[in-house]
Amino acid sequence: MGRVKLKRGRRHPIQGPRLKVVVVTGPSSSGSNVDLTRDVQLAKAAVLYADEVELISPGTETIGFLVQMAAAGPEGLLELLGSLDQSTLAYLNGGKEVPAEVVQNFRLVLAMDDDSMDALGSLTGTDVTALKEAAEDARTGLDAASAELQSTAMRMFEDSGASELAVAIEEGLISARSIIPTADSMRSSDLTKAYAECLKTLIADPQCALLMDEMMGSLARAMIDEGVATPSSVATRRSAEALLGGGLLIRLPALDVAPMEELLDLRRDLDVPLTRYRTGVATLSGRLAAGPFDAEAEAAVEHLFGTVVVPALDEIREEMSTHGLVKDVASHWASDARSVALALVGPVIAGGVVHVADLTQAVIALPVLASAGQAVIGAGSDRARQRANTRKREFFYLYELDRRLGDTRGP
């Protein structure tokens, strides 16, 4: 029998799993508004580091809930009021207790038009004029309250920073997980319990890489110390890499002011340097002096940033700078000072400045100038190779992000 030839399929490069980071933040406020400054900062870093980002944020969820309810008009306002407990309703009502049936009564009023009320009056033999007036006042009040809710929701959406997060969510790079529906009620104690239960699950998930703010990091640490949560060793390793990878990105000066849309464009342009950056982070994270759930986690990142990353960035900046070409030319041009002087002064002398007709100087200068030309070519070639190698360094991604973002900031 002859040999059977196997058809070789088209070869594809080996690809690893997509990197997913879960950003978990606690509630924060500034004055009367929800403050998502830290949420946006962590989300930007996660977007620049990971392939997928999941955001678990009470502040983001609250604003999203308000915007959704506001868009639904009066019915949305009633749904919002119906989701609140009695103590919260009393707080919103200036400390006065709100009857439990008030929301249901409002819904009945909205459902009945004048014809329905006239029919009710005919059936019961009662005058419904006062009821109509009360219903009209209720509708007017609800319309005004609904318009105010819409205005407040949009103001909170813009002022809090939620609009920045919305850009990445619409692009599909960030997904927001809802925790509020899993809570027993809208009471703060029940909401806290729901978020804590979610965090407990994430800590134990070996597929999870957590990036947390100070509040949720402290909660995670307390849960672990008290034995409520048991961290997965793999999740701890993944979270350490996310802590370092995101923490180094957060320290780029322009990150806070850079629009999310611009960061998404850079993320797409720098896919290859990002891969090398992740490899460098994975290696360097083994030198972290504290784990991702430790109180000194941020201090450990700051230490590596100052002692390892900043010097590496300085070297990259020097290697990529244009003035470095002068040094390379000088190293290639190994002629004595007299030859260099003749190369520069000879043409001036021949031009009649000193009225010397002797062409010997120009003849002497020619090989020196030729040597100079070769030096420039040689230095340029070496420079190109050096820059190509520099672009392969693990922290070139940080350098290039900082350079491009710095260019967009202007002087």
Least trusted range by pLDDT, from 81-90, 137-146, 175-184, 199-208: 81-90
Domain that holds residue 99: 17-178
Structurally, how many domains does the chain consist of?
A: 2
- Of residues 375 and 75, the one with the higher pLDDT is 75
**220 in any annotated domain:** no
Cβ pair 58, 196 in contact under 8 A: no
Per-residue confidence (pLDDT) for residue 94, from 0 to 100: 67
Boundary-marking domain end, from 162, 178, 194: 178
Here the tokens at position 327 are 């040094």
**285 in any annotated domain:** no
**189 in any annotated domain:** no
Per-residue confidence (pLDDT) for residue 332, from 0 to 100: 47
Boundary-marking domain end, from 123, 154, 178: 178
Per-residue confidence (pLDDT) for residue 370, from 0 to 100: 53
Which one-letter amino acid corresponds to residue 326? Answer: V
Per-residue confidence (pLDDT) for residue 195, from 0 to 100: 92
Give the integer Cα–Cα distance in Å for 247 and 251. 7
**261 in any annotated domain:** no
Q: Is the pLDDT of residue 333 over 90?
A: no
Per-residue confidence (pLDDT) for residue 2, from 0 to 100: 56
Instruction: Identify the band that residue 13 occupies on the pLDDT scale cut at 50, 70 and 90.
Output: low
Least trusted range by pLDDT, from 72-76, 143-147, 198-202, 353-357: 353-357
For 286-312, how does the pLDDT look when each residue is reduced to its tens digit (9 = 90+)? 999 999 999 999 999 999 999 999 999
Mean pLDDT of 405-409: 67
**206 in any annotated domain:** no
**183 in any annotated domain:** no
- Of residues 382 and 29, the one with the higher pLDDT is 29
Residue 67's φ and ψ, nearest 5 degrees, are -60, -40
Boundary-marking domain end, from 154, 178, 202: 178
**141 in any annotated domain:** yes
Instruction: Identify the band that residue 345 occupies on the pLDDT scale cut at 50, 70 and 90.
Output: very low
Cβ pair 174, 165 in contact under 8 A: yes
Ranges of H-type helices in 7-73: 37-49, 58-71
Least trusted range by pLDDT, from 24-33, 210-219, 259-268: 24-33
Could you tell me which of 179, 147, 149, 177 has the C-alpha nearest to residue 165? 177
Per-residue confidence (pLDDT) for residue 11, from 0 to 100: 58
Q: Cα dist. 310→47, 251, 266, 302, 399 in Å?
A: 22, 10, 21, 10, 10
Per-residue confidence (pLDDT) for residue 33, from 0 to 100: 78
Instruction: Identify the band that residue 263 occupies on the pLDDT scale cut at 50, 70 and 90.
Output: very high
**50 in any annotated domain:** yes
